Amino acid sequence: MVFHTLKWIGDAGGFLELVDQRLLPGKFVRLECRDTGQLYEAIRTLAVRGAPAIGVSAAYGVVLGMQKVESNESIERGLEVLAESCEFLSSARPTAVNLFWALERVRTKAEEFAAGRRETDIAALRDFVLKEAHSICAEDVEMCRRIGRNGEKFIKAGAGILTHCNAGALATAGQGTALSPMFEAHAKGREFQVYADETRPLLQGARLTAWELGRAGIKVAVICDDMAGWLMKQGKIDAVITGADRIAANGDTANKIGTYSLSILAARHSIPFYIAAPSSTFDLSIKSGGEIPIEERAAEEVRRFGGSQTAPDGVDVCNPAFDVTEARDITAIITERGVIEKPTTQSVRRHLG
């Protein structure tokens, strides 16, 4: 990986720099977010996307929020602004649990730090929040490496690997989740073929995954979403690896719309189906996938694309951004801690400790 999806520039008075993923693959443009409003829009409009990248960006977003607190104001005021920033940013996307996890971690750690501090020690609080955001970012980079190392054994030489949406470096602070095992296998000299679903309606697979894998020198072919089943029947797919935006306590997994269909097709053709995601993606407060909130996105994403009309004006549109794959159809979940074979409530809890 020779680029960073996100990077904090400067000290606590600095800004967050993002790769604007709305413009890829045609243009590689960096977007500067200098306040929480700009970051909120970047998350909402998918300039930055992918559960881990959203979480890390949100942590830095709290630093942006703290910049409007004057140095002579009280710690209590600083914590109020911090809480307001967390609440505001948490409303940007409803499904990706890393967003809420990162914001809650920053808020809790900041409250612990502020306990017993001087009333006007705002500078120290700002510096602490930035340090915590840096820690979350660094942990994400290491998490990606560990997922890759734990998952590369599932990619055999000469295999055909199907992936959906984008769960690579563009979706994280590191080298990705679902793509990380591919990068690690490639680094070991293994040759294989990746098939990237285009991933309608926003084409994250065609625009982003193919771009990443091509840059890395990994053989990749883009396919339309409705071609996967036929390739499976032809024996071209040996494994499916996708990322996740939220995983319930029983192993049911929410990911980009279309993932559920792939899991059913994989089961029908006896093809292993893997989820690669960090342990922070698990939400043990949710018993099963039926409780995971599914984001419904704007109808215009389906009616138009790239400035061209793709459906009649006024036609009704159903545009859920995610679906849920049942744990029974998941061969294994690959995390930075190891591998959960045939996930269940019990095996998930044992894995997470």
* 127 assigned to active site: no
> In 3D, which of 322, 168, 170 has the Cα closest to residue 252?
322
Report the C-alpha gap between 284 and 282 in whole angstroms. Answer: 6
> In 3D, which of 198, 194, 170, 195 has the Cα closest to residue 182?
194
**Any bridge partners for residue 222, and if so which?**
196
Of 197, 238, 245, 323, the catalytic one is 245
**Any bridge partners for residue 333, and if so which?**
275, 340
DSSP 18-62: EE-TTSTTT---EEEE-SHHHHHHHHHTTSS-SHHHHHHHHHHHH
Contact indicator for 246, 51 with CB cutoff of 8 Å: yes
Quick one: tokens of 165? 């949406």
Q: Can you tell me whether residue 5 is helix, strand or coil?
A: coil
Enzyme catalytic residues: 245
